[in-house]
Structure 1
Amino acid sequence: MGIPLKLSGVAASEGVAVGPAYVYAPRGPRPAGNVPEGAVEEEISRFRRAVEAVRERLSETAARLREAGSGEEAAIFEAHAEIAGDPELAAEVERRVREGREGAGAAVLAVGEEYARSFAAMDDEYMAARADDVRDVAAQIATELVGGPSSGIEGLDRPSVILARNLLPSDTARLPREKVLGFVTAEGSRTSHVAIMARSLGIPAVVGVGEELEKAFGASVVALDGGEGYAVADPDPGTLELFERRRRRSDAEAALLKEYRHIEGRTRDGRRIEVSANLGSPEEAEEALSWGAEGVGLFRTEFLFMERDELPSEEEQYAAYRRVVEVFGERPVIVRTLDVGGDKDLPGIDRPAEENPFLGWRGIRMSLDLPDLFRTQLRAVLRAAAHGNLKVMFPMVTGVEEVRAAREHLEECRRELEEEGTPCGPLEAGVMIETPAAAILAGELAREVSFFSIGTNDLIQYTLAADRGNERLRRLYRADHPAVLELIRHTCEAAREAGIWVGACGEAAGDPGMIPYLVRLGVTELSMSPPSIPRAKKILSEL
């Protein structure tokens, strides 16, 4: 046993594990180079067959997981099957093969990387984490083309803690689960799919530990605490004893938390606090309910607009929103209108380059400048509202004029639908409080809307001038910073005076340490990643 090495990272999935280290270092596919001129069409045919094989395999995996009751995992593979069958990705690969006589394997990896980088640059952490999905699917297609094995991860022969630079969904799908004690990865965030799948499977995980992980590759034993966000390679006897005590306590707590899934969110003295889920696609709705979600506090709509040749139609959007509303029945579902930063192209929309797209043309600013785009989405939301308890909220608001203009569009869309004889439902409108300007002007904004939803992720970084993706600034990026708490307090006070409610839908809403602050300040709805819901309800019951 070597010298103990502490690896600090992101607390991705709660739980404690101790076991032998298993280093997973996959070798990616090595596609052949250019193809002869006369073989181009055959290369394209090979590519199409590979795409179909991968798409079918992903769909079968999704069906198997859904049948086994693993809805959240199934949704990941369903999304991957859609990526594999994306006609725009296929067209770009085939163009590269025809015009540059590039091998299909190399072409699909290159196109996949271009797509992945566009996702990775997005300010929304959930959408940025989708970069790994695209890379994963592209690598599977390339591997199918070269006919090589996908990885050696199936060789895990005893219960172990896996150390890896990164783990993709296709990797985790092949893992012999009874032999996986925990994950420690160099890359990743709480919203990356390795984190989502670890939480879904109940496997402790620490991600984002960085280059230090390589120093642990020679370790015999690894102990990790997924709740605290750190691991120890080659722990000494005292550390092992400490982790063993934590493991027993963690196992007992996990069993206890199951009892909190479907209770109502209330404080010990009876104050009602709704505990809702953040969703990124309709496929996640049923899984959220299984974790005890009492509604949807944030339904991101960006998934409808990503990587396609044309903007989504009103019918396509209506079907997606209606699907979530019908799953949740009488429970509230809050749809956030489109919030794509200036770093990301939308089909048919001319977007000038911006030096700082995250402070640029995004959210309500873009929607008001593109009324056709905005009104198509509002019409779809109004129609879906006829099927359940739907609400809408506008992101990136900085002033009253924006809210009034947005509401005017909303009412005009309602009148249009009524004149057409198209059913639409009642629809409360709210705003996200994610800029210091919105928090400072909360008193004025509260007179214009039915609710506030505090987007803590952006509010923190804009208030503290600290990019939440910058590792060097992690110590500055704090939800409990006095300036952030003061803006939240002011927002809640303004809402109370106006008689409207306040929710929170950023990472802080599911943070055990922040929940007491938010409730004390006046937040009455907390929206979070579904697996965080039982713990949040337990914390509320003790306040």
Structure 2
Amino acid sequence: MLNTLRNIVQEVSSASDLQTALQIIVQRVRGAMKTEVCSVYLYDTESASYTLMASEGLNPSAVGQVTLSHSEGLVGQVGLREEPINLEDAASHPKFHYIRETGEERFTSFLGVPIIHHRNTLGVLIVQQVEQRRFDEHEEAFLVTMSAQLAGVIAHAQATGSINSVATPTRKARIARFQGSAGATGVAIGDAVVISPPADLGAVPDQVCKNIDIELKLLDSALAAVREEMKDTAERLSDRLPVEEQALFDVYLRMLDDHALGQEIRDRIRSGSWAQGALRQVIEEHIRNFEMMDDHYLRERAADVRDLGRRVLSHLQQGEHARIEYPENTILISEELSPVMLGEVPKESLAGLVSIQGSSNSHVAILARALGVPTVMGVVDLPFHKLSGKKLIVDGNLGLVYSSPAQELLDYYTEVLEEENQFSKGLEAIRDLPCETPDNYRIPLWVNTGLMTDTIRSLDRGAEGVGLYRTEVPFMVRDRFPSESEQEKIYRYQLEAFAPRPVTMRTLDIGGDKSLSYFPIKEDNPFLGWRGIRVTLDHPEIFLVQVRAMLKASVGLDNLRIMLPMISSIFEVEEAQHLIHRAHAEVLAEGLPVSMPPVGVMVEVPAAVYMVKDLAQRVDFLSIGSNDLIQYLLAVDRNNPRVSDLYHSFHPAVLHALQKVVDDAHQEGKTVSICGEMAGDPAAAVLLMAMGFDMLSMSAVNLLKVKWVLRRIGMERAKKILSDLMKHDNAQVIRSSLELALCKEGMGKVLGIKSRRF
């Protein structure tokens, strides 16, 4: 049975469309179970009905025509109960519903199992027999297993739009929609350009080297050619990326030099392998090593190694890259997008990015945000190899990709784009105005930065300060720890750019899904492991150098604030403060007149929520890191698309935790801010203001939208909305009620409520 299952799944997976897949299912299952009938009914959520989509044994004319309501007959009962129904005499069951068109009156035995994918009932798989008997437990187990195996295949086929080819009385044409993770905000409409690797490393055979000198020359020529490609790409990006981000290409170049991959390949050639085989062996070995690592950041580096290997191979094979034509609005797609691929698209042509693998914290996503290109990452179900040249919509706000959209959807998103552009232009008028409500309540809006391009964008939008400067970014784009002098220059740029406005610098926050190639962290559960303050306290040499660099950078400016991440105990705060005071004393000893900056902590661990009063007595300010706090409170990995529907900013537990932090901090006379995606959500910002947060810190691209909303709703009205919502116990209800309330205030468009219509 295991081999039968495997063969059926493989055959179904290779089917060209959904109808073919369903026909394979009913034929193969009927044969494997030796029954007279096997049928598949698929459920349509819009019509709330089941349609007979494929059958072996029932009247062929009934396929695509027979429908049942969601609770009708044994089919509806299987779906409602979400468990198998096994009957030796189906007609005697009270829910039995005879359908003359199917010709099923001859069949007595009935076994039906639900087809469920991610909690959604997709349909029902049924077998029937003339002989009156109850299917045994092995047969039932087989059908249940088959259903579970096929659920993902059917869901994927439905999402690709294959079901459109089947005419049914109730089923409308489906929108081919794919869920990923939001990499960079914004909406793009364009034509797909699928980037495949320039060469297939896996196809390179092993061969004995006939002439070592010739093979070494071929390798040198190929490496030199790829280095030139890297340099050319870096030059093309030079006017689009700051120097800090361009350092990525320096890392790639060093990977190819004689002390890294280049030397290892030469050693293999000298051992008797031809150049292509030596290259494949070295690259595959490094890829395996990276991919076996649990750390997300290091797994991302496997993609870089693979991309470099393919490019070197393409030159070894003396084949030139196919000339790719980029349409006016290019949506670049690849299984693993690399920064090099991104740089090859002309600046004026790149409209959006889609990556099958990767997360919102990968290098590509970071670069996309710097360039302002709407991006969706981790779209694991997208059939990217079939999309070349097709029209796509990329919704970087919601992490959605639509392929071959209907005209209605195109018209809708075109309108969204036009409204966004017009609204963005209109927002410029309030750039220099304070964020003040109609009833004169004032709340400062700060920004989160990390890339140098963030600084320019933030100042252009009237940011009043920096609530979070991610100091790990300069560490991530290098292949070694930046020196104290290098860090001082980077931090000085930030502090000078915003002076006299405050700049809150978070100490190095690595671990989880943020690691450094030169400082690997391998853990089974990195989000609950060695990260944030835990790393830097274990390595005071890293912490002290960073703090000294911050202090030196603040000389004469005095707008520095230091913030400690991932705090879960008083001991961590006291130990960190001891090191900060030590660094301050060392800088003073060098003769630099540096004031002791305010020191605060991030509340992003549930334990810290219940220790706010104790923490507030020891620090100058507090800031909630909403992204991590939500994922820890709800035990949901925010980068995992499989559980993304469980990640709710408006979960009652989240809202109550936020209110508690504000109340406890204010009782101790300390300010509390919030940074993260929640602060940049205009709808959420209304609630955060009502809760009493002293500042909101967000991505610069959202600042003016948040300001526009808060300038149009009074504080008293916001408090009334908050009070009403805190009575609900369901995140979806809270979100919907909030949007309804704000729509009544005339804010529907800016909240992006329309974009959830499809």
Q: In structure 2, the residue corresponding to 1:91 is in which secondary structure?
A: coil
Structure 1 residues 262 and 168: CA distance shift in structure 2, 3 A: farther
Letter in structure 2 aligned against 1:428? P
1:340 CA displacement:
2.2
Which is worse superposed, 160-169 or 76-85? Answer: 160-169
User: Could you tell me which residue of structure 1 aligns to residue 527 of structure 2?
Assistant: 358
Q: SS where residue 383 of structure 1 aligns?
A: helix
1:399 to 547, 569, 591: 569
Task: Render the CA deviation track for 1:486-507: whole Å, top value 9, x for unaligned.
Answer: 2211111122122222222222
1:534 and 2:690 matched: no
SS state of the match for residue 542, structure 1? coil
Code of the aligned partner of 2:295 = A
1:464 aligned residue: 634
Partner of 1:370: 539
2: distance between equivalents of 1:42 and 1:375? 47
Structure-1 separation of matches of 2:518 and 2:376: 41
Amino acid at match of 1:495: A
Asked if the contact 2:671–2:694 (Cα under 8 Å) also holds between the matched residues in 1, the reply is yes
**Identical aligned pairs, as a percentage?**
33
Shift of 1:398: 0.7
Match runs of 1:206-217 below 5 Å: 206-214=376-384, 217=387
1:121 maps to which of 291, 295, 299: 295
CA–CA distance in structure 2, aligned partners of residues 141 and 262 of structure 1: 51
User: Which of these residues, 498, 501, 516, is aligned with residue 686 of structure 2?
Assistant: 516
1:81 and 2:249 equivalent? yes
User: Does the CA contact (< 8 Å) of 2:375 and 2:396 recur in 1?
Assistant: yes
Alignment partners' CA distance in 1, 2:670 and 2:285: 47
2-structure distance, mates of 1:226, 1:304: 25
Instruction: Say yes or no: does 1:61 pair with 2:230.
Output: no
2:656 match: 486
How far the C-alpha of 1:474 sits from its partner, in A, is 1.0
Look up the match of 2:157: none
Name the residue aligned to 2:586.
416
Aligned to 2:224: 49
**Which deviates further from its counterpart, 434-443 or 188-197?**
188-197
| Aligned partner of residue 449 in structure 1, secondary structure | coil
Secondary structure at the aligned position of 1:508 is classed as coil
Alignment match, 1:382: 551
Corresponding residue for residue 752 of structure 2: none
1:213-246 CA deviation, whole Å, 9 max, x = no partner? 4497389644555545445444445445544543
Helix, strand or coil at the partner of 1:421: coil
Relative to structure 2, which stretch is displaced further, 334-343 or 440-449? 334-343
Alignment pair present for 1:320 and 2:503:
no
Q: Bigger shift: 429-438 or 47-56?
A: 47-56
- For 1:307 and 1:220, how far apart are their aligned partners in 2? 34
Gaps spanning 5+ residues in structure 1: where?
none
CA drift of 1:288 comes to 3.8
Q: Distance in 1 between matches of 2:305 and 2:501?
A: 33
Output the amino acid matched with 1:492.
V
What is the rounded CA distance, in whole Å, between the counterparts of 2:389 and 2:647 in structure 1? 32
Question: 1:361 is matched by which residue type in structure 2?
Answer: W
Match of 2:510 among 307, 324, 340: 340
Question: Structure 2 unaligned runs (5+)?
Answer: 1-163, 166-172, 270-274, 714-758
> Once the 2 structures are TM-superposed, how far is the Cα of residue 441 of structure 1 from its aligned partner?
0.3
CA distance in 2 between partners of 1:421 and 1:521 (Å): 44
Residue 605 of structure 2 is matched in structure 1 by 435
Aligned to 2:446: 276
Matched, 1:497 2:667: yes
Instruction: Write the letter of the residue equivalent to 1:82.
Output: D
User: Is the Cα contact below 8 Å between 2:436 and 2:710 reproduced in 1?
Assistant: yes
Contact 1:119 1:130 in 2 (8 A): no
**Separation (CA, whole Å) in 2 of partners of 1:502 and 1:149:** 57
Check 1:220–1:307 CA distance in 2 against 1; reply closer, same or farther (3 A cut): closer
User: Structure 1 residues 415, 194: CA separation in 2 closer, same or farther (over 3 Å shift)?
Assistant: closer
**TM-score, length basis structure 2:** 0.60
Task: Between 525-534 and 372-381, report the one with greater CA deviation.
Answer: 525-534
Check conservation: 2:376, 2:395, Cα contact below 8 A. yes
Root mean square deviation of aligned Cα: 4.0
Higher mean C-alpha deviation, range 186-195 or range 482-491: 186-195
Amino acid at match of 1:62: L
Residue range with higher mean Cα deviation, 418-427 or 87-96:
87-96
Shift of residue 438 of structure 1?
0.9
1:455 aligns with 2:625: yes
188 and 48 in structure 1: CA distance in 2 versus 1, 3 angstrom threshold: closer
Contact 1:400–1:445 (CA under 8 A) maintained in structure 2: yes
- The structural deviation recorded for 1:431 is 0.7
Deviation at 1:439, TM superposition (A): 1.3
Match of 2:259 among 53, 75, 91: 91
Contact 2:194 2:387 in 1 (8 A): no
SS in 1 for 2:381: helix
In 2, Cα distance between equivalents of 1:518 and 1:119: 39
Letter of the 1:355 partner, please give it: D
Secondary structure (helix, strand or coil) at the match of 1:431 reads strand
The aligned runs of 1:235-274 (5 Å cut-off) are 235-274=405-444
Distance 1:246 1:447 in 2: 48
- Post-superposition CA distance 1:350-398 (Å, at most 9, x none): x885432321222222222222232222222221121531111111111
CA deviations over 1:384-422 (Å, ceiling 9, x no partner): 121531111111111112111111111122122222323
Of residues 274-283 and 398-407 in structure 1, the stretch that sits farther from structure 2 once superposed is 274-283
Distance 1:499 1:483 in 2: 25
TM-score normalised by structure 1 residue count: 0.81
Q: Is the 8 A contact 1:454 1:505 kept in 2?
A: yes
Which amino acid is 1:81 matched to? F
CA–CA distance in structure 2, aligned partners of residues 260 and 137 of structure 1 = 47
Which amino acid in 2 is paired with 1:94? G
SS of match in other structure, 1:321:
helix
1:105/1:145 contact within 8 Å kept: no
- Cα distance change of structure 1 residues 110 and 502 upon mapping to structure 2, 3 Å threshold: farther
Larger Rg: 2
Q: Secondary structure of the equivalent of 2:618?
A: coil
CA displacement, residues 31-50 of structure 1 (integer Å, 9 cap, x when unaligned): 67786544576466446634
SS of alignment partner, residue 509 of structure 1: coil
Q: Distance in 1 between matches of 2:376 and 2:668?
A: 43
Residue 466 of structure 2 is matched in structure 1 by 296
SS at match of 1:386: coil
Shift of 1:316: 2.5
Q: Matches of 1:151 and 1:535 in 2, distance apart?
A: 43
Residue of structure 1 equivalent to 2:38: none
